[in-house]
Chains A and B, each alone.
With several copies, the nearest count.
Chain A
Amino acid sequence: MSAAPAAIALDRITKTYAGTHAVNDLSLEIGTGEFFTILGPSGSGKTTTLSMIAGFVMADGGRILLNGKEMTQEPPQARGLGMVFQNYALFPHLNVFENIAFPLRVRRFADKEVKTRVLEVLSMMSLIGFETRLIRQLSGGQQQRVALARALVFAPSVVLMDEPLGALDKNLRYQMQNEIKELQRKLGTTIVYVTHDQEEAMNMSDRIAIMDKGKVAQVGPPREVYENPRTAFLAKFLGEANLVPAKLRAGAVETPMGAFPVPGAPAGGEGEGFFFIRPERLVVAREPSGEVHAKGSIRAISFLGNVVRYRVALGEQEVTSEMTSGRGDLGLGLGDAVAVSWAPDDGRWLAE
């Protein structure tokens, strides 16, 4: 760990509502300049965690440090954070310029300085010419940009974002993801991003924390969390997963489809759990093509555009395979006998 303090350090924070733990003994360190995403199902505590960082909700226990300074009981206005809200929370009684100038006005910046700074972010966000518009005269995408400009105008070192793209449609959403990511890289801002959209989380983040029931279930870079989930919940929550009930015996897993070696499984261990493999690692064909395979028949084929999804019955068990849609199809039909093949490295053992 470096000598500089973490941008944000949460040290065993807890928040209880009506006797149930919304957040339970949670610790996290977020580095300066990091794009850090908190992902989780609704009710997992991700919004409560963000609210505690912002200061809207006070932790019942534990400590919150921002750039090394204790902030646990400080009100929001003392924390100096930028924030983009879920539905933007732009002030409807102010025009675009005054919305963006708000943090500067409150800080009593001179008019001249306010003007310079606001114009700077306006041009950064391609909003020149919109200064005197009212918020309700803007499209969703423009409102998003104003919210972003307001969060950045006073150059805070940390910006919190609470599902900022939730209200935009697919195409605009993807475009804004890239813009935010590029902006963050350029400005070196630390971003804490809350979302329930996994693709968004993987596309933008340096690290992802997946929360479940008030705790962090796993933290790490997107690829690591995707490829090596620690539990069956994580495997299913991030991406699609085949989870075949299995028994571990002498370093190999026994499944209804047969017994396979699995890398990384505890050599001497025994127990019940799952054999886990991602759909895109399974190859469906008339003949086996990988080192490991199982035989079965096709139950369903769905064309999903960029991929084709096959559901294959292997005895009682059903697995899903996803393959890139080529020109024409593989000539496979419902009920056809096929082999499902994979590389031994692609399977994992998950003890529940």
Chain B
Amino acid sequence: MRRHPLSFCLSRAGIFLIALCLLAPIVVVLVISFSADSYLRFPPSSFSLRWYQRFLGDQRWRDAMVNSAVIGVMASLISTTIGFFAAYALLRARHGIVRGLEPVFLLPLIVPHVITAIGLYFVSGKLDLIGNRAWVAAAHSVLAIPVAYIIQQSALKAMDPALERAAMVFGCSRLQVLRRVTLPLAFPAIASAALFSFLTSFDEVVVTLFLAGVKAQTLPVRIWNSLVLEVEPTIAAVSSLFIAVTFLVLMLNRALRISRS
């Protein structure tokens, strides 16, 4: 038997405590969503599914879900494509000028979202695009491109460059190398990038609040807006569904990775 000194036990207890703190907010939301009380209260006095029923029965909530899904898919397609293209081009660029653009692709990760939101708002107002779903998707892409870029860039970087050289030696043109070797090998990363771009759009509040207007309200924005008016456990129910979708997407990503290795 190995000895467990006091310091070991203390550090273990500490780790569990911190993990608990990080879990707490989510657990609270999940528990409240199953409350049978008619107002927000923790812990609930009894449990029911009434808030889920209310949520699903409400046209405005259903619209918000459709908006979230449509905008998320569009943003995911745009960001994944542009992210792949940028990662591929920047990795292969030998010249200083193009290489120097890399920080620009990471910029929206670094610049506070409020700032990006304000900037986009100014632009959208001028172009009369507030409430346009495609425009919201484009705005989300600004935030999702860095995510898609990083995921795909690190996969392309990790790829043995000898594989592309081998394809060339054995007769492939640049385009054939891309189609026969690079794309198939990068597929897991492309799928990951698509899923995480979707989540980025799906979770976004700040930018969407400015641009969505009434027509293109997404789920988190609807949660936000309704918080001001109707502080009732419906929001906890919506939030729980929201968490469920997020985890579903992550599980999908995981399953894809595992099936490929």
Contacts and interface: CB of A to CB of B under 8 A. Distances in A.
Interface of A: 54-56, 58, 75-77, 79-83, 85-87, 89-93, 102-103, 106-107, 150, 154
Interface of B: 2, 160, 162-163, 165-173, 176, 180-181, 184-185
A93 B185 CA distance: 7
Contacts of A79: 169
A106 B172 contact: yes
A92 B185 contact: yes
B176 A93 contact: no
B169 A54 contact: yes
B171 A103 contact: yes
B172 to A, nearest CB: 5
A172 B185 CA distance: 30
16 contacts: A55-B168, A56-B165, A75-B173, A76-B165, A76-B168, A77-B170, A77-B171, A77-B172, A77-B173, A79-B169, A81-B169, A91-B163, A93-B184, A102-B167, A106-B171, A106-B176
- Interface SS of A by simple majority: loop
Contacts of B166: 83, 85, 89-91
B171 to A, nearest CB: 4
A331 B69 CA distance: 83
Contacts of B180: 102, 106
B155 to A, nearest CB: 13
Contacts of B172: 77, 106
Contacts of B163: 89, 91
B160 A89 contact: yes
B162 A86 contact: yes
A81 B163 CA distance: 16
Contact of B168 (A77, A82, A107, A150): A77
A107 B162 CA distance: 20
Q: Give the residue among A55, A82, A90, A93 with the most B Cβ atoms within 10 A.
A: A93
B165 A87 contact: no
Contacts of B168: 55-56, 75-77
B169 A77 contact: yes
B165 A89 contact: yes
Contacts of B173: 75, 77
Nearest to B177: A77
Contacts of A77: 168-173
A69 B112 CA distance: 59
A91 B2 CA distance: 30
Contacts of B160: 87, 89
B176 A89 contact: no
Contacts of B162: 85-87, 89
A77 B180 CA distance: 14
Contacts of B165: 54, 56, 76, 85, 89
A322 B250 CA distance: 62
A80 B169 CA distance: 7
Nearest to A92: B185
A79 B172 CA distance: 11
A54 B166 CA distance: 10
